[in-house]
Amino acid sequence: MKKQQMQILNSKKMKNFFYHSVIIKNINSNSRQLPSLDRLKKEYIEYLLKITDNNKTETADILNISIPGLYKKIQRYGLSH
């Protein structure tokens, strides 16, 4: 996938993800407290890994980070890899 296509895809995925995470989940839970930024980051990485069939290279590309950087985030957030 071309870099420009990846950036557009990333932007659309982020908007959809954050809309779902922040708006829908809070409406459904009747919570007035927003999730922490770390929680959103963790959930977004989980989401990307799921939609890329656990493809670390593609996930890192979408996030615009290195593969070792992705592994650090996976470890930091306690995600299985």
| pLDDT tens digits for range 56-67 | 999 898 888 999
Q: Which domain does 50 fall in, by range? A: 3-76
Mean pLDDT, 10 residues at a time, the chain of 81 residues:
55 68 60 74 87 91 91 93 62
* Cα 25 from chain centre: 16
Burial of 16 from C-beta contacts in 10 A (0-12 / 13-18 / 19+): exposed
Reported pTM: 0.67
CA distances from 4 to 11, 46, 49, 57, 71 (A): 11, 23, 20, 16, 24
Residue 81 in domain: no
Indicate the number of domains in the chain. Answer: 1
Please report whether residue 46 resides in a domain: yes
